Structures are given as structure tokens and as C-alpha cells.
Amino acid sequence: MTSSADSARCYRDLRSFGRRKGRKLGAAQQGLLDELLPKLRLDPAEAGSAGEAGEGCQDVQALARLFNRDLPPSSSRQKPQPVWLEIGFGGGEHLVWQASNNPHVNFIGCEPFVDGVVKVLRAVESRKLSNIRLYDDDARALLRRLPAASIDRGFLLFPDPWPKKRQQKRRLVSTATLDLLGRVMTPGAELRIATDIADYARAILLAVMTHPEFEWLVTGPDDWRKRPADWPQTRYEQKARRAGRRCSYFSFRRR
């Protein structure tokens, strides 16, 4: 649950996502929400405590323990398993692929759309994945509570484009969001962002390249035109390509 302060702040945040529910869930799907989600849901208050400035606590080990995975002896003096964060995982294709192929990494997936959460819960159950935790609300509330320098890689893949001019203020990739990510990401951590909307791609580059805590990892056109091998295709990307839209794949580094 979020605190009253978090709730008030998120109310002031312009909503960056669309609907939260699709069609009515079946009994098995509802069962996953009722029984499995509470075991995997991250509570921002447990992930880190916010101070007056909105800065999360420094206890990275406490965040690692939320995954209920074995830690080495004297773990307080050792770096815990890396934590990767995906904001807006949609149908979960990318999140599940990464978690399956990187069992040594702990994953946090944020997605307010119930249907997407159910898809990931089903994959967690069927594949017996122990390295995924979920936050089914506005990711910014969690970002404000996570410990500083606790995220080793971040993903923002095909966020809602809000294509109409009057809607663009709702786009998630902004200086304000980069400020939050800059605080929680470790120095040298990679931030991957993808979009199929040309003017959003320009806005992303402008926001990131003018931000003091991030730099663009680019040496040539292929660095943003071709998806790397360890970056699986999502359902939304497939839809974009069928519609003839060109996708951009950006990789940035936390300074």
C-alpha cells in the first residue's frame, strides 16, 4: 500500500497510462490475482522509507530480502543480486524473457493494467520463476520509495505515446521521471527506452541528452535502429511493425 503522502503526490502526477481493466477475468485469472499477486506484490513502504525530500532509504539489502531469495553470509557487506526494473511491462513478454534468461537477477515489474499483470502471474506460476516481484500501480510512487542506487538496469519499452498534442504532457518519459530514475539507478547502470512514435523518440532524446545524470550510448545508426539480441520483441512492437511504424531502441547510461 502507498502512504497518504505518496497518494497525494501521485494525484498531482498526470496519469501516464490508459485503462486499468479490460474484459472480465475468468475464474482462474481472478484466482491468480487473489492468491499469487499478494505474494509477489511490492509494498513501497517496505521497499524503502521516504524522507521529507522524497528520497528513499539506503538499505539496498532490505530491498533484496523482499525477493525471499538466499543471501550469502555477511550479506550486509556484500553486493546483493542485481535488481532490474521494467516500467509498463504490458503483456509481460520482455519481463518474463529477461527473468527466465537471467535467473541471477531480481526483477521488479510495474504495470497498472490488470490483464498484463495476470499474464505475468501465469508465467511465474507455470515457469516457477522466483525472481519477479510486481507493482500494479503508478511506477512513480515506487520510484520515490526505492533505495538510492538500488537499480542496476531499467526498461521503459513502448510507453503510452499519448499522440495528440494536448495529451503529450502525460508522456511518462520526462525530466521529472528521469530525476526519479537517476536517483535509484546505480552509476553505470543502463536505461533502455523504446518507442515507435517519431516525435516521442525526439522528445526522449531531448529529455535524456539534456539531463545531467544520463548519457546516450551510441556510435552509429544501428545502435537505435536495430534491437539487440538480448532485447526480445514485445507484442506492442509486433503491432507497430505490422502497422508500418519504425521502432527506435535507445540505450542510455547513468553517469
Return the active site residues.
160
**Helices 198-209 and 175-184: crossing angle, nearest 10°?**
50
Cβ(150)–Cβ(83) below 8 Å: yes
- Pick the closest to residue 158 from 234, 212, 213 (CA basis): 234
Cβ(179)–Cβ(173) below 8 Å: no
